[in-house]
Structure 1
Amino acid sequence: MYRFLLTPRWWGINVFVLLAIPFCVFMGSWQLSRFEARVDDQRTAEAQADSARTETPRPLAEMLPVDKATYGKRVTASGRYGEQLLVPDRELDGRQGFYVLTLLRTDGGRTLPVVRGWLPGAADAAKAPAPPAGEVSVTGALQASETPGDNGVSAQGGLPPGQTGAISTASLVNLVDDDLYDAWVTLGTADSGMTAVPATAPNGTGLDLKAFQNLGYTGEWFVFAGFVVFMWFRLLRREIEFARDAELGITEPDAPTSPEAARSPEAGSPTAEAETDAAAAAAQPAQEADVEASTPVR
């Protein structure tokens, strides 16, 4: 009954199943590891942010470029404040507001974007306090350039003059002529009655949309593996039923399947016998007439 498993067709099916199941399990495990890695990165970032609050600030130049090891670390920089911009549609503690972003022209000749604080409501330059005059020294958490569309960063364009949707070098270079650092700083203590903006985790960490996509792909690959097993057992059961029916004589194992064979009546069937009798009855008068014609008259 199971001899059909040795046919070339079933050899191909079995080889496909043996390759597909481990592949699906491997891909599902890999996607799960990616999700777990993002969760671990979030925990590491949170622990790093907590420890950074008690660490001694270090000069900005020593902490660049920004990476996962330096992200959120406290840095210091000195210079003079210059142009001020607003970053609208930023939420803090469940309320909508905007960031006050001021460009600090450092003593090294380059410009560092500094978020001096957050204010509630719609972005309005009249609400934003003017930056301190003269030489200043700032201390805050180091942040990498934002990517529009990620982690709640607005990707909208066409903002009024004096506003930017993202705090990134790519966005600010179109608004100012200064040589910008590929980083920004959020002050630990906000200026002039504004609320301090907490440091955020680096991109690619935390339970964001991409992390849950990895978790969803994990479930899909494991479902694919189960579907392959289900279809193999279904095909096997159908072949066993066909073989059993053939042994019992319920079905013909080698029955013709062509359209001509399906249209022609089988020998020995009632339809074939009826057609044969009708043809014989039609031919009988002609045969009798031939016999009479051939008999000599005495």
Structure 2
Amino acid sequence: MYRFLLTPRWLALHVVVLLVIPAFVFLGQWQFGRYEERSSNSDVVTTNLEAEPVPIAELVKPGGSVDESTRYRTVTVQGAYDPAHALLVRRRTQNSQLGFYVLTPLVTGQGQAVLVNRGWVKAGATADALPEVPPAPSGQVTVTGRLRPSETEESSGIRNRGELPAGQVLLINADAIGKGLPYQLVGGYVSLTEQQPRTSPAPEPVPPPDVGAGGGLNFAYGVQWWLFIGVAIGGWLLMIRREVRDRSAEQRREAEDGGAADHAERDGHQAPAGTLEP
């Protein structure tokens, strides 16, 4: 009855099922891994956003780098802006509009400074036109903002290139920017959320990160891939069962047809009723 399972067509189907199952297992595990990664990242970012502000010196030192566990932590820093070395960060979108981030060093003293992203400004009327940038305040200020690690091509997805207009960059990278400054930069940068004293007008603050669902979709996709394993196995067994049923029905029909033919043949050899044999 089950010898049909060894025919070329069915052997090909077996191979497909045996290949599909481990593929679905792998895809499910990959999605669950992404779920754990994003959930962990979401927990870290949420905790840091809700934490009380601390002086930046407690988290990062001049020449050091921002640890991944402290990104988006709210910090405070005091100093005076250096508008002579301010930069515009190109290709930054906010409110569905293309514009620039306004990046200004905040000199803290003792030959040290922190890069501060003061906010976003709308791009100029043409590609070559400079945007209108509110000036940085003079004198001592206290900045409160979210600590961010330096951007790289890998972390930002932005391809860095040269030949930019003077005073413009594509990436906020403290190491690269610090090479042209007369003081040492603290690793990473601060995205301003509050400043004392306040100034007006001022660049538009950068909104907080979207924590999202913490990988909930990845978890759902993982479950979905593993459900597909049951669908593949169930479909394979259903096809076998249907084939067995169809072959059994065909054999019964053939047996019935064969029995009817034998019966008709026997009837054909019998003499008609009432006829005498010689």
Alignment of 1:189 onto 2:194: yes
Letter in 2 for 1:84: A
Letter in 2 for 1:172: I
- Taking structure 2 as the reference length, the TM-score comes to 0.60
Alignment of 1:60 onto 2:56: yes
- The number of residue pairs the alignment matches comes to 241
Shift of 1:101: 0.4
Corresponding position of 1:296:
none
Corresponding position of 1:81:
81
Residues 210-221 of structure 1 aligned to structure 2 (within 5 Å): 219-220=224-225
Alignment of 1:142 onto 2:147: yes
Work out the CA distance in 2 between the residues paired with 1:23 and 1:108: 58
Match of 1:119 among 112, 118, 121: 121
Say if 2:81 and 2:107, in contact at 8 Å, map to a contact too: yes
Work out the CA distance in 2 between the residues paired with 1:102 and 1:215: 43
Letter in 1 for 2:205: V
Residues 1-298 of structure 1 aligned to structure 2 (within 5 Å): 1-2=1-2, 21=21, 24=24, 27-28=27-28, 31-32=31-32, 34-35=34-35, 38=38, 41-42=41-42, 45-46=45-46, 48-49=48-49, 51-52=50-51, 55=52, 57-64=53-60, 65-67=65-67, 69-82=69-82, 83-107=85-109, 109-122=111-124, 127-133=132-138, 136-148=141-153, 154-155=158-159, 157=161, 158-169=163-174, 172=177, 179-189=184-194, 191-198=199-206, 200-201=208-209, 206=212, 219-220=224-225, 222-223=227-228, 225-235=230-240, 237-238=242-243, 241-242=246-247, 245=250
Corresponding position of 1:255:
none
Say if 1:25 and 1:222, in contact at 8 Å, map to a contact too: no
Shift of 1:100: 1.0
Shift of 1:21: 4.4
Change (3 A) 1:125 1:15: closer
Say if 1:20 and 1:228, in contact at 8 Å, map to a contact too: no
Say if 1:46 and 1:201, in contact at 8 Å, map to a contact too: no
Say if 2:68 and 2:149, in contact at 8 Å, map to a contact too: no
Please give the per-residue CA displacement for 1:84-128, whole angstroms capped at 9, x wherever unaligned: 101233333444432210123443544421112322233865732
Which structure has the higher relative contact order (CA within 8 Å, separation 6+)? 2
Letter in 2 for 1:100: V
Say if 1:114 and 1:185, in contact at 8 Å, map to a contact too: yes
Stretches of structure 2 lacking an aligned partner (at least 5 in a row): 256-278
Q: Percent identity?
A: 32
Greater C-alpha Rg: 1
Change (3 A) 1:228 1:165: farther
- Taking structure 1 as the reference length, the TM-score comes to 0.57
Letter in 1 for 2:190: V
Stretches of structure 1 lacking an aligned partner (at least 5 in a row): 251-298
The 3-state SS of whatever aligns with 1:160 is: coil
